[in-house]
Amino acid sequence: MLLKDVDYICKLIYESFNIPITFIDHNDMVKFEQSSLSIKNPNSTFHHNIFKQFNFKKETFLFPLFVKTEHYEEFFIIQIRQENEYKGMIIVGPTLAPELTNDRLAALINDMNVQKSLGEKLVYYFETLPRLSHMKLMNISMQIYYMLYQETLDPAEIILKNSKAGDLTFKIEDPEVTISQQRENVSFHHDFMYEKRLFQFIKEGRKEEFLKIFKISPENGKVGILSKKSQLRHSKNLGITAITLATRAAIEGGLHYEIAYTLSDLYIQSLEELTDCSLIDPFIEQALSEFADRVRKQKQQSYSKPINKCMNYIYTHLYEELTLTQLAELVDMHPNYVSSLFKKEVGMPIAEYIHQTKIDEAKTLLTFTDYSLLKISTILNFHDQSYFTKVFKKYTGITPKKYKTLT
């Protein structure tokens, strides 16, 4: 490769993709620069300063190096080397990721806390930047690299090398030290099983049960500290975490993912607007209850009113003896008709549905309580423990004792 070829390659890339491209030689002199941008970032002293952190002349980077500025502008840089001697670098960018919508850019500018006049200039600047996905930008970098060195690159390898080159590992306090201090002070996080049970109720659409345990803190443990400097930020971070977990639980429970994610976005956006710590806990309770309620309604939408009434009765009287006669009286229909309608809509006989629902509850009790098998079979109104074991194995493939050891 000859240095005179670099100008031609830069010109070719610019004309093909209409993205800013610059070639800087080993003396930091601009030898080629082409861009359709009418202005530079009015809030940045960019040009070449941002690249000093990578120490180009002293270190060899035999791959495209990707950089993102504090303003979300994206660049990549490729060193020009002949016989392992640094001759300069090609800089491609700035570009913006397509997912940075106008609303997100407005929020970004708001975070900069700049004067209105400067904010307007920034809006105009961002609107002029070409929008390219990171993968598209990477493909362009691989094309340039091949034209320079006739070598093919692997995208995964580029990503890995970039991670190492930037030395962007964030430092946190040594977790072992923190754990030791917690042991010394007998101060631990809440029981994982408490959290698991909480979100299991959301997954099953069991709003009432969720509220009962949500309002009662676990006997042992505490929540983590998610912000050292701000109680408000700590509370909001906890809320965001809870909403995220509830979103996943609701999707697993059958709520359409688009509905779940939209709810999540709206609740987190509203949470961020709160400025009073005392309002956050009630807000989170409302948000998580909404997820549980929507899951329950989703589960009911496919059935007629009489069948929904039967299912709700089974759900709320699960620890009692349940019979077809009771359900028929509840909906004021003949037992044979109720039985036929139930099987038609739900796809299984009422007796089988009751057994399956009781076994699902037994699985919850085996997971979240220390109840014996005898106690579980008794409170769920099975005739005896052996019959309970037989029914449990029918629906799970294993015995209750085996299930207990696996949870």
Query: How far are the Cα atoms of 235, 281, 283 from residue 276, in angstroms, in the given order?
Result: 10, 10, 11
* 199/70 same-domain check: no
* 13/80 same-domain check: yes
Q: Looking at 277, 300, 323, which one is the last position of a domain?
A: 300
pLDDT, residue 34, reads 86
* 294/319 same-domain check: no
45-59, 146-160, 345-359, 360-374 — most confident range: 345-359
* 293/311 same-domain check: no
Mean pLDDT of all residues in 284-297: 90
Q: What residues are paired with 67 via a beta bridge?
A: 75
pLDDT, residue 364, reads 84
Residue 181 in any domain: the answer is no
* 26/126 same-domain check: yes
**pLDDT tens readout for residues 301-326:** 778 889 988 988 898 888 999 999 99
* 248/325 same-domain check: no
CATH number of the domain residue 38 falls in? 3.30.450
First to last CA, the chain: 63
On the question of pLDDT at 209 being above 60, the answer is yes
* 262/339 same-domain check: no
Q: What is the DSSP string of 266-315?
A: HHHHHHHH---GGGHHHHHHHHHHHHHHHHHHHHHTTS-HHHHHHHHHHH
* 155/252 same-domain check: no
Residue-number span of the structural domain to which 364 is assigned: 305-406
Tally of CA atoms within 13 A in the half-sphere of 39 that contains its CB: 14
pTM of the model: 0.51
**Close Cβ partners of 323 (under 8 Å, ≥ 6 residues apart):** none
The gap from C-alpha 88 to its chain's centroid, in whole angstroms, comes to: 41
pLDDT confidence bin for 44, thresholds 50/70/90: low
Q: Looking at 300, 333, 353, which one is the last position of a domain?
A: 300
Q: Which of 10-24, 78-92, 219-233, 238-252 has the lowest mean pLDDT?
A: 219-233
